[in-house]
Amino acid sequence: MSVYLWKLRPVLLLSILFIFFPLMLSLYIRENLFTKFIDKSASLERKLQYYEAEIYKREHFKETRILGLYPFVKSRFDDTLQIFCDEKWKTQRKSQSIEICLRFVTLLGYFGILILMLDSLMKGYIFVGAFAAIFSSISTMIAFMDDAVRNYLGNMMENFGSLKIYMLFLNLDEEQGEDKEIHIEEGISLQNVAFKYPKVEKYALKNINLNIKKGETFAFVGENGAGKTTLVRILTGILKPTNGDVKYDKVSIFSINKNFRFKNITGVGQKFGKYKMTMRKNVVLSDRQKEISMDKIDYVLNKVDIDTKNNSFSNGIETMLSKEFDGMDISGGQWQIVALARGLYKDSELIVLDEPTSAIDPIEETALYKKFKQLAKGKTAIIVTHKLGSARIADKIVVMKFGEILENVKNMEQAREVTEEAIQSISAVSEETTACSDTVSSTVRSQIDAVTQVDETIRKLLQEAEILGESINRFYVD
């Protein structure tokens, strides 16, 4: 067809190309508009997902119902949805307006071809049969291309923005490193470490210098926002410091490939996974590369005081920890103990516990820390805590405030003594308070007994007075 039109009149072929150019231009404009919309609406979509989760997720239903938050969250969801729909409508309207204008150009090109065909017919370049055949072929070709551009390529271009952003993400530079496992034979050292989060001017950590020997247990203590968790994340290689370095056996942890970086590290974070799986799978998730050892699972569960053989767990270690999958629900404290068992199941040289017992009662917490001390024997351990009692099992204590270490390694023993003295003082005050309470209680009890005796005496006197009154009445009646 193209060769025939070119031989017949080259201007006819150029006119057809002129018709298709606006169609392709509309695709390009559509793709640009929706790419900008997807980039702009990403935060709105995240908000919608967040509000939706707050409305229906089981983890939040107690608070949303007790405090009556549903109408408020629902209104925020509706407002955000309205903004999202308005933005999408603006993009669609702009895209359709431009497309209509370009289709008008296409229509002009179509009329131009028709005029050229009639001119060719009148001048004898083609006959009536050829005119009809060529005009029908061009109409069919234009209709096919229009349908393909509008229905197939058009819809694809709407989603091309998401694909384009995804491809940009995949093309980001990845951290490179050596494929070797880290070990802690000579210890861990943090050298002039400083860190600040993106788009934040204030440093979360600064001037951090620390040396941790193999087999030592360190406790990081401090107020909320002191930088304890951030320091642990840098120490384990999750975050890269803005300045400074972290070295394991004099080798920078950031020079090691991420696939190998965490092989010798285990732990429990503040926010841990509540996996809707069986008890066994919840425990072995931390060390999937090795063959599952039932003896080791039983040993770890025993150490954290989880008895799967009692009546609470209907299927023992194979009990599903989710009612949604015909299993059972467990409390927040029990979930934390399961997370602790998962962290201890993995064989590693470094164990990190970031507030691992915040939902566990004090008596069980004390027992768990004592057992943890036994399990961590010969290993390097890091404990992040607010509680002085938890820090007692540490060999050294790091006191932090405003992102800095108040007490350095040389003074850690003294810091531990101060901590123990504080604990003893608290215990002494507690004992004195208890003794005083007992004394007050006994005094109050004796006073109550005395009042009771007086009350009984008065009651007896009243009874005797009533008897005497009845006797006097009978005397006057007689």
pLDDT on residue 440: 43
Q: For 76-103, what is each residue's pLDDT tens digit?
A: 989 999 999 998 898 888 888 888 888 7
pLDDT on residue 477: 42
- As given in the structure block, the two tokens for residue 202 are 């204030």
Q: Is residue 280 within 8 Å of residue 222, measured between CB atoms? A: no
Q: For 247-262, what is each residue's pLDDT tens digit?
A: 888 888 888 887 788 8
Residue range of the domain that includes 45: 2-170
Query: CA nearest 257: which of 193, 181, 173, 188?
Result: 181
Alpha helices in 386-411 (DSSP H): 388-391
Q: For 19-57, what is each residue's pLDDT tens digit?
A: 777 777 777 787 788 888 888 888 888 899 888 888 877
Q: Is residue 420 within 8 Å of residue 391, measured between CB atoms? A: no
Q: Is residue 372 within 8 Å of residue 337, measured between CB atoms? A: no
Establish if 420 belongs to a structural domain. Answer: no
What does the pLDDT average to over 401-429? 57
Side-chain half-sphere of 312: how many Cα atoms within 13 Å? 9
- As given in the structure block, the two tokens for residue 426 are 């608290």
Structural domain count, the chain: 1
Establish if 116 belongs to a structural domain. Answer: yes
Rounded-to-integer distance, Cα 277 and Cα 314, Å = 14
Rounded-to-integer distance, Cα 180 and Cα 213, Å = 21
Structure-token match 């057809």, residue found: 16
Given the DSSP bridges, would you call strands 243-248 and 251-252 parallel, antiparallel or unpaired? antiparallel
Percent of the chain predicted with pLDDT > 90: 1
Establish if 64 belongs to a structural domain. Answer: yes
Establish if 148 belongs to a structural domain. Answer: yes
Sign of the CA dihedral with 71 first, then 74, 79, and 82 last:
negative
Task: Please give the residue that has the higher pLDDT: either 469 or 241.
Answer: 241
Given the DSSP bridges, would you call strands 265-268 and 251-252 parallel, antiparallel or unpaired? unpaired
Establish if 432 belongs to a structural domain. Answer: no
Q: For 132-141, what is each residue's pLDDT tens digit?
A: 777 777 777 7
Establish if 233 belongs to a structural domain. Answer: no
**Residue 428, SS3 per DSSP:** helix
- As given in the structure block, the two tokens for residue 47 are 């908000």
Rounded-to-integer distance, Cα 185 and Cα 128, Å = 94
Task: Please give the residue that has the higher pLDDT: either 240 or 117.
Answer: 240
Rounded-to-integer distance, Cα 59 and Cα 450, Å = 54
Is 50 exceeded by the pLDDT of residue 110? yes
Task: Please give the residue that has the higher pLDDT: either 244 or 12.
Answer: 244
Rounded-to-integer distance, Cα 318 and Cα 129, Å = 81
Q: For 432-473, what is each residue's pLDDT tens digit?
A: 544 544 554 455 456 556 545 655 655 655 555 555 445 444
Alpha helices in 322-411 (DSSP H): 332-345, 362-375, 388-391
Task: Please give the residue that has the higher pLDDT: either 270 or 435.
Answer: 270
CATH number at residue 164: 1.20.1560.10
Strand order through the sheet with 205-212: 205-212, 188-195, 243-248, 251-252
Is 70 exceeded by the pLDDT of residue 8? no
Quote the mean pLDDT of the chain. Answer: 75
Rounded-to-integer distance, Cα 328 and Cα 279, Å = 11
pLDDT on residue 220: 85
Establish if 79 belongs to a structural domain. Answer: yes
Given the DSSP bridges, would you call strands 380-385 and 350-354 parallel, antiparallel or unpaired? parallel
Model-level pTM greater than 0.75?
Answer: no
Helix axes 362-375 and 332-345, enclosed angle (nearest 10): 0
Three-state SS letters, 253-290: HHHECHHHHCCCEEEECCCCCCCCCEHHHHHHHHHCCC
Sign of the CA dihedral with 125 first, then 128, 129, and 133 last:
positive
Is 70 exceeded by the pLDDT of residue 164? yes
Which amino acid would we find at residue 97? Answer: S
Report the alpha-carbon angle 10-12-18, nearest 5: 110
pLDDT on residue 426: 43
Q: For 281-332, what is each residue's pLDDT tens digit?
A: 888 888 877 778 788 888 888 877 787 777 777 788 888 888 888 888 887 7
Establish if 159 belongs to a structural domain. Answer: yes
Q: What is the DSSP string of 69-122?
A: -HHHHHHHHHHHHHHHHHHHHHHHHHHHHHHHHHHHHHHHHHHHHHHHHHHHHH
